[in-house]
């Protein structure tokens, strides 16, 4: 894996976290970082969301710094890496936080498993599309 591809992957991890946090946590209000463990403590959940977003910001900044060091990165490698990183975020976070630890679910309630599995399916699709996009450049 090239330096540029690694940088794009790290950037994608941060972007994936931001998309999850902004859309599911803030805009839709489906869950907070610790809502599966502490459903009634909004203050604690907001602090945990803030720490989560700080981690996402650090990943984005590290990815940008890595991209700067990598020099020119072909667009398919960049965007393929970002999509792959986002997908990896979904897969790791979905398995660890949703299914294994139960820290939170994508959307609690009667269909929470369907939402969690949909989140994982989206992650797998992002990894597949990102990998194909980045590979397309390598085969030229």
Q: 31-34: long-range contacts at Cβ-Cβ below 8 A with a sequence spacing of 24 or more?
A: 31/104, 31/105, 31/106, 31/107, 31/108, 32/104, 33/103, 33/104, 34/103, 34/104
Please, which pLDDT band fits residue 1 given cuts at 50, 70 and 90? Answer: confident
Task: Please give the pLDDT value at position 135.
Answer: 84
Q: Span 62-86, mean pLDDT?
A: 96
Q: Span 116-134, mean pLDDT?
A: 97
- Domain containing 133 equals 3-138
63: which 2 tokens?
A: 């990815």
Whether the predicted pLDDT of 132 surpasses 80: yes
Query: How far is Cα 113 from Cα 105, in angstroms, rounded to an integer?
Result: 8
Instruction: Kindly report the pTM of this predicted structure.
Output: 0.92
Task: Please give the pLDDT value at position 15.
Answer: 98
User: Considering the chain, what is the average pLDDT of its residues?
Assistant: 94
Give the total number of structural domains in the chain.
Answer: 1
Query: 7-48 pLDDT, tens per residue?
Result: 999 999 999 999 999 999 999 999 999 999 999 999 999 999
Whether the predicted pLDDT of 140 surpasses 90: no
Please, which pLDDT band fits residue 137 given cuts at 50, 70 and 90? Answer: low
């Amino acid at each position: 894996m090239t330096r540029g591809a690694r940088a794009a992957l790290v950037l994608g991890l941060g972007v994936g976290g931001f998309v999850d946090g902004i859309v599911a946590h803030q805009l839709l209000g489906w869950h907070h970082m610790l809502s599966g463990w502490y459903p009634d403590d909004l203050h604690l959940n907001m602090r945990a969301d803030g720490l989560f977003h700080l981690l996402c910001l650090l990943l984005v900044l590290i990815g940008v710094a890595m991209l700067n060091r990598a020099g020119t990165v072909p667009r398919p490698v960049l965007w393929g890496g970002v999509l792959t990183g986002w997908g990896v975020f979904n897969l790791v976070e979905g398995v660890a936080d949703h299914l294994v630890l139960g820290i939170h679910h994508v959307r609690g309630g009667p269909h929470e498993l369907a939402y969690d599995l949909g989140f994982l399916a989206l992650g797998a699709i992002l990894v597949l599309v990102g990998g194909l996009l980045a590979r397309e450049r390598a085969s030229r």
